[in-house]
Structure 1
Amino acid sequence: MNDAAHINVTLVQQGVWDMPKESMPLASGYLKSMVMEDVELRQSVTVEICNFRGGVTHGEMARSLFSRTLPDILAFSVLGWNVRAFGSLAETFKQLKPDGWVVFGGTHVSGQADRVFRLYPEVDVIVNGEGEITFRELVRARVRGVRLTDLAEIVGISWRAADGSTVTNVDRPRIENLEIIPSPFLSGAIDLVDEKGEFRYDVALIETNRGCPYKCAFCYWGGAVGQRVRAFSRERLRAELELFAKLRVHTIVACDANFGMLPGDLELVEDLIEIKNRYGFPCAFEGSWAKNKSKVFYEIVRRMKEAGLRSSFTLALQSLNPDALDSMNRRNMKVNEWRDLVEWLNQEGLDCYAELIWGAPGETVDSFIEGYNDLSQYVSRIAVYPIMLLPNTAYAENKASHGIVAVRGDHDDFEYVLSHRSMSFEDNARVQRFLFWARVIAENAVLRHCWLPLRLLAGWQQSRLLDSLADWVDTTSCSLAATLREAVARAHGGGAPAYAKAIGYLFSDPGRQALDLWWREVVSPQLDPAHRPFLDEVFRFDLLTQPVLPPPGTTGEGDAHSDIPPLRVIDGHEYYVRENVLLSYDVPALLAALRCDIPVSLSPTPTRINLWYRVGALNAVISTNHEEIVHFMGEFRTAGSLSGTPASPDR
């Protein structure tokens, strides 16, 4: 051992989206806090986190990382969207510092040593499973002067022996007591504020627990599937939430598999509400809600509604087809149970969205579209995802038994399913077009109010309206549709950026003009004249309540070239405000009545409202984060009142 050894460690993360604000580097924060709280290491190790946005190029990352003192350990948090970039950076690093250690960890490389070492020969070590203890052991080994070819004593890694062969040590048991991991927020491991002293990330990420009791064939969840759930302490979580509140963080996102399943989840919400009452923040709480809803879930929902703490409640069904569900190794709530749940949430005026996966073995075009339309009768915002084969999942390990044919992504390392025994290439291409419009228009709430009255009054299923728009974009000669056609063409290989381009365009004036033209040319002429004026006004209300996205260089405050509403500070929050908007019907009241099955009169009832829009929607749009986008939709109050909290149009 070299007693004088002092080493530098650089932890690298890169988000998937090129957003104005960063994604919080939670994984790196855990690793840094674990090293810096260690008595043996704190005096002999310097740890730096380099956190990059999705749009940063390989060259830009290389200049940032390597135009300074080179680290002794360069460690990457690897996911499917950044593995190629990190492999390239590892190659460059080894040119500059051949004796430096390159460590890969994360869900995309865990348990994949043979493939990763073959593709990226500059990688020295792969961390399998939870990384906090394992990474600390690797840093200790480097400080003590242990050679890269002598890592047999470190549990939970794969490495290369002296002859170049791959060695995988025994797995490390899951961390039973999560309290041994210092909080990356309370310890200061993660920089929380920017140079202006403002919270620097799009949302605050927290883990309240780890583990998932289910074993879905498409999911890995960090290797914790089929595992007992382990929780962080209430005291620690409360301290983290209070820190975020003091920093005026709007949205907290829980990185748990099944929030709302455990009694401790209710305790966290109780603490969150008490903190919100004291500080005015946070305003929203999001997470992956429990698949099956218990009494705890219903109590959480009730408490959050009473406190005005917003959220989007998830109905994670993934499929309504029994054959597909069998292949997924999952069972959903009984039909009457999830329908009752959604109806209850609707009547309470609470936002709910559902999740479906297209392309699971056993699913067909007809069963998927039928399930989509069935589900859309109860919840219009349906997040639909094409099936992907993730490393270490049952689907990935049993491709042949399902007859799966897949291809690696153009800009990532995920495997995208092209066909299997119940889905042909042609079937997949047909539904991929539908998925684009379902994700852009319905999932991301470009339209959200017109679905219900269109179905009840005109008999239009949600898929019919989406297909109508898709056909119009494909065939119209209108130049306003050109941007949308380009986004559709790029979506299959371009991923999130293509979706973000379409969403952002449709939230702009030209995009709204395109939607308006489609509606006037295609939809409105097919409506019953008795219902048409009201349905046209609901569609207009959809466009009016879209988020406000100022063009670059405009603020909305006195800009002669922008129709962006003026800014107002109300109850300590910044909003764009449109005052005295005239509606020919009291659309919010009529929509609320329709949701509750109350008969309505469609006689015109001119109504004036003020619309309030939270500032900062661009981050959510670029990231196609539908859970966040809904927090930027126009909220309303009766015209003449600009005090108090606005009401969501969903209420």
Structure 2
Amino acid sequence: MSDLKKVLLVELSVFERMTPLASGYLQAYATTDSVIRSEYRFERYTTVARTPRAEIIRNLIGAAADVYAFSCYVWNMGLVRSVVAAVRQARPHAQIILGGPQVMSQGGRYLSRTDEQTAICNGEGEITFSQYLLALTDSDAHARLHEVDGLSFYRDGELVTTPKQARISSLDDIPSPFLTGVFDSAYSIAILETNRGCPYHCGFCFWGAATNDRVHRFDEERVRAEIKWVAKNEILFLFIADANWGMLSRDVDISRHITNCAQDHGAPNVVYFSAAKNKPKAVTEITGIFQDANLIASQPVSLQTLEPTSLDLISRSNIKLSAFAAIQEDLREKRISSYIELIWPLPGETLDSFKRGVGTLCENEAQTVIAYPHLLLNNTPIYHHSDAMGILTRPAGGDIAEARIVIGTREVSVAEFTEGMYYFYAFHALHNPSSLRTVIRHLVKQSGMRYQDVFSAFAEFLREQGPDDPILAYIERSVEDADYYDVNNYGLFIHSVLHEHRELFTEHVRRFAQSQDWWDDDKVRALFEIDFLNRPYMYSNTPMDVPAEGFQELRLLDLGPRSYTVQVPAEHLPELSDAIRIDTIPADGTFTVDHKRLQYPFMPTQSRDHSGSYCHGMIEKVGNVMPLWQPAGQSVR
């Protein structure tokens, strides 16, 4: 065994204790070759990217591998580059190969003329990596590398890129790392791939461009066996890595299989997936299956933008708004949460169209809307046309990532981008937790006001707060330092406004409402009091709100440990039932508003990253923590 060359597969991931699927595939496929088995032994090094750099370098050098294989992504590439440089200096004769979407077709950027022992894999890795290892066994390995498709490397000062490697059409040629003993049970998160490829060519994404429209499938029985392995090994979180879960008809049955395995073995507890773009009914059925099994409780809808000019520029089509509205109503009836994913700013989008699009989503019953930053990813269509599109970027993610955030386009100046970010934070605080849901809904229906006008006014209100205001300071810091690159940033903002600074935020909402022309309406004041009672809690131990000045329109009869008993005058009941799902309206208008739902308690010993991740997940499925309004005295479900 000691005479075998060591191959070290390196994954520097976002999450702890996650199955290194790319490494597992590479090892499982390579070891089907008898020559590789006789020449190499494999080890894996997996840690989170935030692990101290010095520790990672010390461990990799100490591994004394002959071949180092790194998985490279936008979130770890800054770290990978510095680690590779340190490994190269300490082990000048080691072979290093880089793979992953960040380095594909980027040999001139990531390779050095003075280093002929580092290569890049361009495309799917299994075949190219195996052929690469076989070439290294030859006495004239340098010459043999020219015969391996899908590689880039330097020879005699010239960059060599060999022809593309054909995609693997028969995915079952890759043995399962779950079922062949490559993986053990020491994981909390499992990554599952049931197919590869994406039929779309969205301009901001490399997935479809890399896979040429073709979606190849793993055998269904193999997939079912892998799911059973995950369940039997009590892995709590399952990430389905397919680009469009719900696109294939079998996805519904596989989803049922996941829930059956979870029922039999107690795991997984949570399932995450990227929903099929134009199969909303199938995705709704899948989400319902998972929700019924308490595995997931929110349906993702990836719209990215509603602006037709932008959709045309990024080669994307969305479901019709009429269909979207019908789906949202169906989800509401079934008590299934959903969240809409947007990207700000995309080419062709303007500040006005972004605000207008958010307003349109609200008009069509969107529960939660998240506007993610636009990452300029290598090799995407927008990347290749960035100059023509006027793309301006800034770095984000510190020295661990290699992220470039788009902060300007031909249609959006840097100042307009910044205004759009303030608009989203204001919207995120006001709409996603339903802070003024019934009020705004009434204003839009009765006075013709637009949703975006209220959110814009609230953004301006927040920007007028003093420099010592912690909520404004959070937004300013996030925008100035591009902290929104980290998805936990949005969750921490919710943690701030609904827990840490909840009392202050409640006062902000009250003062904002009182400063508006529409506040003089008695109806608005009553609906404001309803919204006060209805605003959810992310944690089960956040102190309950108590109206400092009492209620003027409603009667607060009792304040329980996690509930209110309140009487709503008859003239306000229609707006209440229109805005909030209520099964039974009591004749006397007396409700118990119960906030004891599916929240976990806040634990001060947990990290802020943990709080951010938790709150982001909770706001995506906010319907599961919204209070239940039921006739007073009736048992709460």
TM bucket by the smaller chain?
Answer: 0.7 to 0.9
Equivalence map 1:262-281=2 (5 Å): 262-281=248-267
Q: Which amino acid aligns with 1:360?
A: L
1:28 to 23, 27, 32: 23
Equivalence map 1:595-610=2 (5 Å): 603-607=589-593, 610=596
- How far the C-alpha of 1:405 sits from its partner, in A, is 3.5
Find the counterpart in structure 2 of residue 488 from structure 1. 478
* Aligned residues of 1:361 and 1:422 also touching (Cα < 8 A): yes
- How far the C-alpha of 1:139 sits from its partner, in A, is 2.3
CA gap of 1:483–1:185, structure 2 versus 1, over 3 A, is: farther
Q: What is the Cα-based RMSD across aligned positions, in Å?
A: 3.8
Say whether 1:51 aligns with 2:46.
Answer: yes
SS, match of residue 126 in structure 1 = strand
CA gap of 1:476–1:430, structure 2 versus 1, over 3 A, is: closer
2:392 to 405, 411, 423: 405
2:438 to 453, 457, 469: 453
Find the counterpart in structure 2 of residue 135 from structure 1. 129
Deviation per CA, 1:116-154, whole angstroms, max 9, x where unpaired? 225995871100111112112222333445534641111
Whole-angstrom distance in 1 between the partners of 2:271 and 2:295:
7
Q: Which amino acid aligns with 2:386?
A: K
- How far the C-alpha of 1:292 sits from its partner, in A, is 0.7
1:184 to 177, 184, 200: 177
Deviation per CA, 1:439-460, whole angstroms, max 9, x where unpaired? x647xx9x42345423223447
* Aligned residues of 1:487 and 1:499 also touching (Cα < 8 A): no
Find the counterpart in structure 2 of residue 546 from structure 1. 538
Whole-angstrom distance in 1 between the partners of 2:494 and 2:113:
36
- TM-score, structure 1 length as denominator? 0.81
CA gap of 1:171–1:467, structure 2 versus 1, over 3 A, is: same
Say whether 1:207 aligns with 2:188.
Answer: no
1:64 to 56, 59, 62: 59
Find the counterpart in structure 2 of residue 523 from structure 1. 513
Whole-angstrom distance in 1 between the partners of 2:241 and 2:597:
32
CA gap of 1:226–1:137, structure 2 versus 1, over 3 A, is: closer
* Aligned residues of 2:24 and 2:177 also touching (Cα < 8 A): yes
- How far the C-alpha of 1:396 sits from its partner, in A, is 1.1
Say whether 1:394 aligns with 2:381.
Answer: yes
Whole-angstrom distance in 1 between the partners of 2:201 and 2:208:
12
* Aligned residues of 2:305 and 2:343 also touching (Cα < 8 A): yes
Deviation per CA, 1:506-542, whole angstroms, max 9, x where unpaired? 1774322332232233236654444545544544543
CA gap of 1:494–1:25, structure 2 versus 1, over 3 A, is: same
CA gap of 1:600–1:531, structure 2 versus 1, over 3 A, is: farther
Find the counterpart in structure 2 of residue 417 from structure 1. 406
CA gap of 1:6–1:250, structure 2 versus 1, over 3 A, is: closer
SS, match of residue 303 in structure 2 = strand
* Stretches of structure 1 lacking an aligned partner (at least 5 in a row): 194-199, 549-555, 557-561, 565-577
* Aligned residues of 2:192 and 2:241 also touching (Cα < 8 A): yes
Whole-angstrom distance in 2 between the partners of 1:450 and 1:119:
58
CA gap of 1:455–1:149, structure 2 versus 1, over 3 A, is: farther
Whole-angstrom distance in 1 between the partners of 2:528 and 2:19:
42
Equivalence map 1:618-637=2 (5 Å): 621-623=611-613, 626-627=616-617, 630=620, 634=625
- How far the C-alpha of 1:172 sits from its partner, in A, is 0.8
Deviation per CA, 1:79-124, whole angstroms, max 9, x where unpaired? 1122121111111111111110111100011111112225995871
SS, match of residue 64 in structure 2 = coil
Say whether 1:583 aligns with 2:556.
Answer: no
- How far the C-alpha of 1:362 sits from its partner, in A, is 1.7
SS, match of residue 258 in structure 1 = strand
2:157 to 157, 164, 177: 164
Say whether 1:15 aligns with 2:13.
Answer: yes
SS, match of residue 314 in structure 1 = strand
CA gap of 1:298–1:427, structure 2 versus 1, over 3 A, is: closer
Say whether 1:312 aligns with 2:298.
Answer: yes
Number of paired residues? Answer: 598
Equivalence map 1:57-96=2 (5 Å): 57-66=52-61, 68-96=62-90
* Aligned residues of 2:200 and 2:208 also touching (Cα < 8 A): no
Whole-angstrom distance in 2 between the partners of 1:366 and 1:482:
23
SS, match of residue 54 in structure 2 = helix
Q: Which amino acid aligns with 2:423?
A: F
* Aligned residues of 1:94 and 1:122 also touching (Cα < 8 A): no
SS, match of residue 562 in structure 2 = strand
Find the counterpart in structure 2 of residue 574 from structure 1. none
Whole-angstrom distance in 1 between the partners of 2:593 and 2:409:
53
Whole-angstrom distance in 1 between the partners of 2:209 and 2:99:
12
SS, match of residue 68 in structure 2 = strand
Whole-angstrom distance in 1 between the partners of 2:348 and 2:584:
41
CA gap of 1:603–1:208, structure 2 versus 1, over 3 A, is: same
Whole-angstrom distance in 2 between the partners of 1:505 and 1:270:
33
1:369 to 352, 355, 368: 355
CA gap of 1:292–1:128, structure 2 versus 1, over 3 A, is: same
CA gap of 1:267–1:10, structure 2 versus 1, over 3 A, is: same
Find the counterpart in structure 2 of residue 41 from structure 1. 36
SS, match of residue 110 in structure 2 = helix
SS, match of residue 384 in structure 1 = strand
- How far the C-alpha of 1:603 sits from its partner, in A, is 4.3
Say whether 1:228 aligns with 2:214.
Answer: yes
SS, match of residue 35 in structure 2 = coil
Aligned-pair identity in percent equals 26
Deviation per CA, 1:459-483, whole angstroms, max 9, x where unpaired? 4765456545544543334554475
Deviation larger for 44-53 or 400-409: 400-409
Deviation per CA, 1:222-246, whole angstroms, max 9, x where unpaired? 7544421111122221122122223
Whole-angstrom distance in 1 between the partners of 2:368 and 2:114:
41
CA gap of 1:595–1:182, structure 2 versus 1, over 3 A, is: farther
* Aligned residues of 1:355 and 1:384 also touching (Cα < 8 A): yes
- How far the C-alpha of 1:74 sits from its partner, in A, is 1.2
Whole-angstrom distance in 1 between the partners of 2:113 and 2:453:
45
CA gap of 1:254–1:437, structure 2 versus 1, over 3 A, is: farther
Whole-angstrom distance in 2 between the partners of 1:592 and 1:441:
23
Find the counterpart in structure 1 of residue 119 from structure 2. 125
Q: Which amino acid aligns with 1:488?
A: S
Whole-angstrom distance in 2 between the partners of 1:255 and 1:104:
21
Deviation per CA, 1:352-380, whole angstroms, max 9, x where unpaired? 11122222222111111101110123213
SS, match of residue 42 in structure 1 = helix
Deviation per CA, 1:21-44, whole angstroms, max 9, x where unpaired? 444422222223223454333354
- How far the C-alpha of 1:185 sits from its partner, in A, is 2.2
SS, match of residue 212 in structure 1 = coil
Whole-angstrom distance in 2 between the partners of 1:306 and 1:396:
42
Find the counterpart in structure 1 of residue 418 from structure 2. 429
* Aligned residues of 1:480 and 1:513 also touching (Cα < 8 A): no
Q: Which amino acid aligns with 2:286?
A: I
CA gap of 1:49–1:591, structure 2 versus 1, over 3 A, is: farther
CA gap of 1:252–1:164, structure 2 versus 1, over 3 A, is: same
1:594 to 561, 567, 579: 579
CA gap of 1:123–1:258, structure 2 versus 1, over 3 A, is: farther
- TM-score, structure 2 length as denominator? 0.82
- How far the C-alpha of 1:299 sits from its partner, in A, is 4.3
- How far the C-alpha of 1:273 sits from its partner, in A, is 2.6
